[in-house]
Structure 1
Amino acid sequence: MMLLYLSSNQNIGIFDSVAKEQEILVKKLSGEFHFKSFVIKDMRSLNHYEYVAIDLKAIKDTEEEFIETLIAFKSMYDSRIIIYGEGLKQGNVLLNKLVDIEVYNLITSTKIETINQEIKKTLSPEGMSYKDVFKFRNETFCGDNKKQYSFICENVQIAVAGVSSKVGTTTTAFNMANFLSAMGAKAYYVEFNKSKHLDVIGLYYREMIKTENGYECKGVKYIDTSAVFNWDCNFIIFDLGEINKEKKRVIESCKINVLCSTSKPYELSAAKDSIEIYDNQSTHLIAYFGHIRTLIPTTCGQHFGIIRTA
């Protein structure tokens, strides 16, 4: 295996001992670099390296240029990117941006023993994951393209249900929670059904951190109905799964209701039955893959806002 190391003059030997132990060949380039120009100039030769380590002290690009180049690099190469940023701490803007673009192999310690431990982790088969760098995220941080707002509402309950299974109910609930969190709100996702999808999703995505009450990922807390929790948030999103009459009390107690559907021919009957459960309850209907307006009875049509997605 080969590692390319772009280093400042004072940190040129930082990978030597660990690389020797793991029999990784290190090619060192020391000095000062404009990373964007370097990638463009040496584009063909970069295919040979399993690891590309970058000492931030050696980089002369602006933060914006550096992040843009890393994004482009990740799209072109399979090399693992390792960032050496000695002494950077939680709340650092660049660290937040690196985590946002899924660059998780970050070395930030100032003591040689812990530096070597972090290097070993970055060079391990699995490398560092989101769980290892979650501590660097600052929940108040807002990237260049993310506008955040101040939310004064408390514990607004949103019920997301589907006319049947596999119509995007859980996906819609997850996306809603993540969108609200990205906008600056405190959001909770509650698996209010018997599917047990949350545990499967939590095991599959390494970014989801296991907590006492469920999971947490990028500011959103995910729990199921077995968790004992004191609400202290802006929005609570209940994933009801497939809607039925037994859940009518839940949708009546929520301030906002969302019903997910499709307009496939074999699903139209279930969609019509589900819409009738809502009666005169004000509801947002998300209709995937086509038109569904003909399913809404005249008596309750005025209570439905329709969102059609292709």
Structure 2
Amino acid sequence: MLLYLSSNQNVGIFDFLIKEKGFIIKKLTGEFYLKKFVIHDMRSLSHYSYVAVDLKSIKDNQNELIEALVAFKTMYDIRIIIFAEGLQIEDKLIQKLLKEKIYNIITVTTVSEIKDQVLECVSEQGMTIEDYRDAEGTNSLSRYIFKHKNIKIAVAGVQNRVGTTTTAFNLTNYLHGISAKVSYTEANNNEHLKEIAVYHEFSKETNNCFKHKGIEYYLNKQFPDDYNFNIFDLGILNISSISIFKACDVKILCSGSKSYELPYLNRGLKLIIDEKISTLFTFSTETGRINLKKLTKSKNNRVYFSEFNPNLFDGSVNEKIFKDILIDYIIEI
């Protein structure tokens, strides 16, 4: 279901979704103080998947609007869509929205362009930071300097289903989102990349390379050149993958946090006992993190706890972790 807070002149913007996508849409038309609306109507909004806000219907000032949207994002797992017809990427409000990771913003003015952006906003992935790159492929937000070329980053798991591929994809998309030139390589035998490429409609560059939203994804354990960062998804850390893991500049080990999963972690740590690594617990509860850190942290092992993120292409959820892991290679200016 989609809730739409609309001005009188833009009330029909999302109507085509009813027929074409089978959406159920509830409209509230008029003028709103969004901050008050969020406070008073918060409980009745949990059953919506999307909330669209026409800026022409909102009477809050910019700071109040941002506060209301941040509060809304904190309380609910609902996609926020902003109808900001005619605004430019350089406008302060758009920049504030992007900094809060609100990317589903409709700014175009023609009917056909509005329809295209609406469809992108309600797609499985939605709009991402990639949609705000300029013609030269650089990010419109913070600028970064990358100190080196071809920094090789290994991402491995201590066993199956601990988020290794999701972490590798998220890290790739995080780096791409801050304007790094980055590649992903499937350096394992799982062959998940082909299935992902078909499902998400990647373009095929060569027999061994796909491309999606500006990122190149390689099959068959390739070691491409001329990138700032190369991400290698090693699958499970074992005897066959240990040599690549050790050869990389940055080493990330993914692990589950349940008691019966820790023996796999210990086994993996023994294989790389002298290596400087970052251990990333991908599914951990808040209460168990102190003990996990005590058991795992050492002078060669930095420990992190990632937030759950099922979206392969969203590098923003755990960006603080990624930034800390790569602190020696990235300068923010």
List alignment gaps of at least 5 residues for structure 2. 282-291, 306-333
Q: Secondary structure at the match of 1:158?
A: strand
In the aligned structure 1, how far is the partner of 2:183 from the partner of 2:81?
33
1:210 aligns with 2:202: yes
- Kindly provide the CA deviation profile for residues 174-219 of structure 1, in whole angstroms up to 9, marking residues without a partner as x: 4544554566543333221012334556678xxx6724343546x7
Distance in 1 (alpha carbons) for counterparts of 2:112 and 2:263: 63
Aligned partner letter, 2:181: K
Identity within the alignment, %:
34
CA contact (8 A) 1:96 1:136 kept: no
Aligned partner letter, 1:196: E
Cα distance change of structure 1 residues 201 and 72 upon mapping to structure 2, 3 Å threshold: farther
CA gap of 1:242–1:110, structure 2 versus 1, over 3 A, is closer
Aligned counterpart, 2:71: 72
Give me the whole-angstrom Cα distance separating, in 2, the residues matched to 1:243 and 1:13. Answer: 58
Deviation string 1:229-287 (CA, Å, 9 cap, x unpaired) is 953322112121223444454345433334456796786488547734x586x432628
Give the secondary-structure state (helix, strand or coil) at the position aligned to 2:189.
coil
SS of 2:9 mapped into structure 1 = coil
Contact 2:252/2:278 (8 A) holds in 1: yes
Residue in 2 that maps onto 1:13: 9
* SS state at 1:157 partner: strand
Where in structure 1 are there 5+ consecutive unaligned residues? Answer: 294-300
Aligned residue number for residue 87 of structure 1: 86
- Of 226, 250, 254, 1:256 maps to 250
Q: TM-score, normalised by structure 2?
A: 0.59
Flag the 1:165–1:37 CA change in 2: closer, same or farther, 3 A.
closer
Q: Which position in structure 2 is the counterpart of 1:28?
A: 29
- 2:245 & 2:28 partners in 1: Cα distance? 61
User: CA separation in 1, counterparts of 2:175 and 2:147?
Assistant: 13
Judge conservation of contact 1:96–1:137 (CA < 8 Å) in 2.
no
Tell me the CA shift for residue 29 of structure 1: 0.8
Contact 2:143–2:179 (8 Å) recurs in 1: yes
For structure 1, which segment, 265-274 or 236-245, has the greater mean C-alpha deviation from structure 2 after superposition?
Answer: 265-274
Q: Of the candidates 186, 190, 205, which is equivalent to residue 185 of structure 2?
A: 190
CA separation in 2, counterparts of 1:73 and 1:191? Answer: 37
Q: Against the structure 1 CA distance between its residues 35 and 235, is the aligned structure 2 distance closer, same or farther, given a 3 Å change threshold?
A: same
State the 1:137 CA deviation. 1.8
TM-score by length of 1: 0.62
Higher relative contact order (CA 8 A, sep 6+): 2
Distance 1:200 1:209 in 2: 10
Q: How many residue pairs align between the two structures?
A: 280
Report the secondary structure of 2:233's partner residue.
Answer: strand
| 3-state SS of 1:13 partner | helix
Q: CA contact under 8 A between 1:4 and 1:52: conserved in structure 2?
A: yes
Any idea what the Cα deviations from partners look like across 1:141-188, whole Å, max 9, x if unmatched?
44xxxx763112111112233444345543543454455456654333
Larger Rg: 1
1:87–1:261 Cα change, 3 Å: closer
Give the direction of change, closer, same or farther, for the CA distance of 1:131–1:203 in structure 2 (3 Å limit): farther
| Residue 121 to residue 171, structure 1, CA distance change in 2 (3 Å) | closer
Could you tell me whether the CA contact under 8 Å between 1:95 and 1:137 is conserved in 2?
no
> Aligned Cα RMSD in Å?
4.9
